[in-house]
Amino acid sequence: MNSIYFFELFGTLVFAISGMLAAIEEKMDFVGVIILGFVTALGGGTLRDLLMGNTPVGWMQDNNFLYLVLLAIPICFLARKYIAKLRRSFFLFDSLGIALFTILGTQKGLDANLSVLISILMGVVSATFGGVIRDVLANKVPLIFRKEIYATACFAGGVSFILLSKVIPWESLTMIICALIVLLIRYLSVKHKWGIYVRPIN
């Protein structure tokens, strides 16, 4: 489906930029910037494909994903100057990215006849694991473990997608609604500093 493919490419670009900006902040060299952009953008989908046995993994069979990572380089240079101002729009892009990848991953799981729970998990892995690899390579405790509701928003998006798919006949509409749900949860959790802790941080 064309709209899904477009969303996948767009999510790849957004994640590549987010990874590259992280590398620049860490004062990595040019190669580090590219690699971090690459793994952030494609790491989640790669793990999903490996777990599902879809090899060669997606981006190896379609150069467009690589081109988008390369396209992120000049965008990143420009963005660097406006990074402070861009932070808000980046939050939007990143949240949109995880929303799209969650839904795409969930759909791929269902297509492969995996159980509903595992399919949602494939969605969450697609959406979040690129960022986990990014943080591991930058030698940090992954953000996902400390940040406001992040994986939880993905999970909620995946569950919504499963439920709404049974009610709404138009896939695109379902996807948009689910993406909005993820965005809303992310927005509210950041605004109100929501978090689910086993015990308070002292």
Return d(Cα 109, Cα 122) in angstroms, integer.
6
Q: How many residues bind its own copies (CB under 8 A)?
A: 54
Q: Does 74 bind its own copies (CB under 8 A)?
A: no
Q: What tokens does 130 get?
A: 């690129």
Task: Give me the 149-188 binding string for its own copies, x by CB under 8 A, dash otherwise.
Answer: xxxx------------------------------------
114 near its own copies (CB under 8 A): yes
- What's the N-to-C CA distance of the chain in angstroms? 49
- Site map (CB under 8 A) of its own copies, residues 91-110, x = contact: --------------------
How far apart CA 52 and CA 104 sit, in angstroms, is 14
Q: At what angle do helices 2-25 and 83-111 cross, to 10 degrees?
A: 140
Applying CB under 8 A, does 52 fall inside the site for its own copies? yes
190 is a contact residue toward its own copies (CB under 8 A) = no
Region 6-35 residues binding its own copies, contact defined as CB under 8 A:
23-24, 26-33, 35
> CA 157, 162, 155 angle in degrees (round to 5)?
30
Q: Shortest gap between Cβ of 170 and its own copies (angstroms)?
A: 29
CA distances from residue 201 to 26, 60, 146 in whole angstroms, order as listed: 26, 43, 11
Q: In terms of Cα–Cα distance, which of 175, 172, 164, 37 is closest to 105?
A: 175
Sites of contact with its own copies (CB under 8 A):
23-24, 26-33, 35-36, 46, 50-53, 55-57, 60-61, 63, 66, 77, 80, 112, 114-115, 117-118, 121, 132, 136-142, 144-147, 149-152, 195-199, 201
